[in-house]
Amino acid sequence: MLIDLTGRTALVTGSTQGIGAAIAKGLAGAGAEVAVNGRTPESVAAALERLRKDVPEGEFRAAPGDIAEDEGAARVLSAVPSVDILINNLGIFGTRPALEIDDAEWRRYFEVNVLTAVRMTRAYLPGMRTRGWGRIQNIASDSAIATPGEMIQYGMSKTALLAVSRGFAKEAAGSGVTVNSVIAGPTHTGGVEDFVYELVDPALPWDRAQREFMRLHRPQSLIQRLIEPEEIANMVVYLSSPFASATTGGALRVDGGYVDAITP
């Protein structure tokens, strides 16, 4: 299957590292011009330097700004006034005992993990609908379905994101625009390495720490390893393509079989 996104413009929020950077790389490799977003110009510039080395033929542009804030979101929309593909990837996570999560933290997770996706979708969906083509994807998590006891504030936000995706898919009905969620399973990123070492012996070398984490905390994974960011990106690139024209309003899993269900 040859996916060609030449002539399409994409914005990937939170794309200076991890899954977001892998998605930016994948979309650029398929021919899209990709706007890279991070909170600061410096982080975006560093990410662009890495991405241009990885995809020398790729087209990239800078879109710095903290989209969890009105001013930052305005800067991004000014830098990228129109897109064909919107990937709402920005998200935060962390562990906290349930009874120690205060109101401010509940609000922060909702604002960063949910409202940023709503804000960007509200900005770009009308133009996509007018042009008769567009792709919007919200990067969710297995935690949306299998709520982790150690971070229910994160699970809550990802569950809400599934509802947001389904609702906006209905708003885009019949327009040529598709809206989907991608449910990412436990994925190997720098931030997740830190998270793993919060839960297992920090003296263990990484390979053993990863296996111990999966054995103790994610035993239902059918691949029994962390997913690589590029594996998430593969699904995103497909959903961004014309081949996925009949897939909308869905929650598609790239979770290594973590969620023990035959439907999301």
Q: Does 116 lie in the same domain as 237?
A: yes
Token pair of 241 as six digits: 């393509």
Token pair of 200 as six digits: 């297992």
Q: Does 203 lie in the same domain as 168?
A: no
pLDDT of residue 194: 86
Q: Does 126 lie in the same domain as 145?
A: yes
Picking from 193, 98, 88, 90, the residue whose alpha carbon sits closest to that of residue 153 is 98
Q: Does 156 lie in the same domain as 93?
A: yes
Token pair of 115 as six digits: 């409202």
Tokens 């982080």 belong to 43
In contact, 12 and 38? CB cutoff 8 Å: no
Q: Does 126 lie in the same domain as 26?
A: yes
Tokens 């994101």 belong to 161
Picking from 23, 82, 2, the residue whose alpha carbon sits closest to that of residue 242 is 2
Return d(Cα 39, Cα 43) in angstroms, integer: 7
Instruction: Report residue 243 CA to chain centroid gap.
Output: 20
Is the per-residue pLDDT at 13 higher than 90? yes
Is the per-residue pLDDT at 98 higher than 80? yes
Within a domain: 259 = no
Domain that holds residue 83: 9-187+229-254
Q: Does 93 lie in the same domain as 42?
A: yes
DSSP type of residue 112: I
Q: How many domains does the chain have?
A: 2
Can you give the pTM of this predicted structure? Answer: 0.94
108 φ/ψ angles, rounded to the nearest 5 degrees = -60, -45
Selecting among 109, 124, 154, 258, the annotated active-site residue is: 154
pLDDT in tens, 24-76: 999 999 999 999 999 999 999 999 999 999 999 999 999 999 999 999 999 99
Q: Does 212 lie in the same domain as 90?
A: no
pLDDT of residue 190: 78
In contact, 93 and 137? CB cutoff 8 Å: no
Is the per-residue pLDDT at 192 higher than 90? no
Please say if 109 is a catalytic residue: no
Q: Does 128 lie in the same domain as 212?
A: no
Quote helix, strand, coil % in the chain, to nearest 5: 50, 15, 40
Is the per-residue pLDDT at 127 higher than 80? yes
In contact, 128 and 177? CB cutoff 8 Å: yes
Mean pLDDT of 135-164: 96
pLDDT in tens, 217-233: 889 999 988 999 999 99
Return d(Cα 187, Cα 255) in angstroms, integer: 8
CATH value at residue 42: 3.40.50.720
Q: Does 181 lie in the same domain as 97?
A: yes
Q: Does 65 lie in the same domain as 176?
A: yes
